[in-house]
Amino acid sequence: MTEEPRYGSWGGLQEGRSRRELRLAWRDDRLPEEALSDSSCLCHGNGRSYGDSCLNDGATLMSTRGMDRVIDFDPATGAFECEPGLLIKELLEITVPHGWFSPVVPGTQFVTIGGAVANDIHGKNHHLAGSFGSHVLSFELLRSDGSRLTCSESENPELFRGTIGGLGLTGLITRIRFRLKHVPGAHIEQEKHVFRNLSQFFEMTEELENRFEHTVAWIDCLSKGRSLGRGIMMCGNHASGSSLKAPRAGLLRSVPLTPPFTLVNAPMIRAFNEVYFQKNALSAGSSLIHHRPFFFPLDGVENWNRIYGRRGFHQYQCVIPHGAAEDAIGDMLKRIRRSRAGSFLAVLKRMGSQKPAGILSFSRPGVTLALDFSNHGAPTLELLEDLDRITRSSGGVVYCAKDARMSPESFQSYYPQWRELERLRDPAFNSSFWRRVTKDLS
């Protein structure tokens, strides 16, 4: 029996205190007896969810990383089928040389395909492509009663929509079939634009979305006054650039250990933001770059999450409906500035109008804002609670995959349809997150 828990989450807030950690290896095997005899079990992919949605305190976690086999790849049609533990990184290594790309990629290539489905992830192309779930053709779900259900839009459609964005609660996905996107090569024709404040972002974003398949903005969350919400808009289209080589690793390849305290504080963020903004403002314009630095800029530094120290960090990501977005995001930035908390990573993206693919999907029409905060305990929780108040009053929602602290009240108001997922949940599956946010409100 493993004594030291190995499977944590990216925010490093919770030490995963699973009672048992098992490894799954074969898609045709039954669920392990030890998992089914425990109070509950949950699949764990690569642990890149930030909070506790990939943890199962006091019960069983089952790692799917050993289930990383490709089942079918047709370079003529771009249909791809694999086991759930394959990483986006591994997928791209196999398909990009044949001119095919993942239909949707998040900000890191270290997530599993199973996780991409379970969190119905979105990316810089959401305005055109929607979320990952809308490209899934079918999957097989292994339930704790031993049944194997093929799920698609026509077969078991309820479980299909429940499992997409279903946080791993409906059973084990053993195989997933989805559509890849054809690309001319491994590169991106990139264009960077400066916006001097938040309203400029809202003015330019629509026009850029018409010209670019991928758009995302970094904002300086410590800027104030007339520059409130200044930032850089990064846009890109797939390109061939076949003569260019893949980028080499930078100087800092890995954060080797977790310092006892966070290295991220307000003066440092202010300095970083100033330099980052000015550097990008100077280099605004177009260039041809490899897809890796464009899509996964932080992946160049392994374990970057360790800079937040032993207490870890929170990520807050919300999406606010279009009409309310500009005011709500302005209010949030002011509130963050007041807290002197600040965040390196502050990302803004206008989402498309696609219908959410899953019952509990996060992505929906509106503007999404993502921010990282060092964990300082009570003051951090207070700040996040205040952000929640703004999100709630403007009709937005918070992303479950990023969350470690929202109240059951907030969750149930964001996702009133949660009872539908609760009904579809496999009785043997549960997570720390789900127990926390579905507590009865009395």
Partner 1 sequence: MKKILIIGATSAIAEATARLHAEDGDRLALIARNESHLEAVAQDLRQRGAESVSSFVMDANDFARHEEVLAAADESLGGIDFALIAHGTLPDQELCERSAQSMRDEFSTNCTSTLSLVTVLANMLEPRGAGSIGVITSVAGDRGRASNYVYGAAKGAVGLFLGGLRNRLHGSGVHVLTIKPGFVDTPMTADFSKGPLWATPSVIAKGIRSAQKRRRDVVHLPGFWLMIMLLIRLIPERIFKRLSI
Binding to partner 1 by residue 22, rule CB under 8 A? yes
306 binds partner 1 (CB under 8 A): no
**Residue 27 binds to partner 1 (criterion: CB under 8 A):** yes
114 versus 236: smaller Cβ distance to partner 1 = 114
Could you tell me if 61 and 20 are in contact, meaning their C-beta atoms sit under 8 angstroms apart? yes
Task: Identify the three-state secondary structure at position 41.
Answer: strand
Q: Is 72 in the site for partner 1 (CB under 8 A)?
A: yes
Question: Nearest approach, Cβ of 41 to partner 1 (angstroms)?
Answer: 15
Q: Which two tokens stand for residue 423?
A: 């009904």
What does the per-residue mask of binding to partner 1 show for 91-130, with x meaning CB under 8 A?
Answer: ---x------------------------------------
The Cα 329–Cα 331 span in angstroms is: 5
CB 165 within 8 A of CB 356: yes
Q: Which is nearer to partner 1, 69 or 334 (CB)?
A: 69
Instruction: With CB under 8 A as the rule, give the number of residues binding partner 1.
Output: 19
Q: Closest CB to partner 1 among 71 and 204?
A: 71
Quick one: 174 or 380, whose CB is closer to partner 1? 174
The residue from 23, 334, 340, 376 that contacts partner 1 (CB under 8 A) is 23
Is the C-alpha dihedral spanning 433, 435, 438, 442 positive or negative?
A: negative
Nearest CB to partner 1, comparing residues 71 and 194: 71
Non-local (6+) Cβ contacts of 62 within 8 A are 21, 22, 23, 24, 31, 32, 35, 41, 42, 43, 44, 172
Q: Around Cβ 353, how many Cβ atoms within 10 Å?
A: 11
Cβ-based nearer residue to partner 1, 66 or 184: 66
> CB pairs under 8 A, 24+ apart, for 135-138?
135/103, 135/104, 135/178, 135/179, 136/164, 136/176, 136/177, 136/178, 136/357, 137/79, 137/177, 137/178, 137/179, 138/176, 138/177
DSSP 3-state assignment of 232? Answer: strand
Strands (E), 24-155: 41-44, 60-63, 70-74, 79-82, 100-101, 136-142, 148-152
Q: Which of 19, 34, 70, 240 binds partner 1 (CB under 8 A)?
A: 70
Closer CB to partner 1, 182 or 389, in the complex: 182
- 6 binds partner 1 per the rule CB under 8 A: yes
**33 lies in the binding site for partner 1 (CB under 8 A):** no
Q: Is 123 helix (H, G, I), strand (E, B) or coil?
A: coil
Work out which of 17, 26, 207, 278 binds partner 1, going by CB under 8 A. Answer: 26
Tokens 């026009």 map to which residue?
207
Considering only 15, 30, 66, 379, the residue that binds partner 1 (CB under 8 A) is 66
> At its nearest, how many Å lie between partner 1 and the CB of residue 91?
11
Are 345 and 297 within 8 A, CB to CB? no
Whole-number minimum distance, CB 188 to partner 1, in Å?
24
19, 25, 128, 148: residue in contact with partner 1 (rule CB under 8 A): 25
**Considering beta carbons, is residue 2 or 283 the nearer one to partner 1?**
2
Tell the smallest beta-carbon distance from residue 185 to partner 1 (Å).
19
Cα separation, 218 vs 287, in Å, equals 18
71 contributes a contact to partner 1 by CB under 8 A? yes
Which CB atom, from 36 or from 70, has the smaller least distance to partner 1?
Answer: 70
Could you give the CA distance from residue 43 to residue 427 in angstroms, rounded to a whole number?
Answer: 14
- Give the residues lining the site for partner 1 (CB under 8 A): 1-4, 6, 22-23, 25-28, 66, 69-73, 83, 94
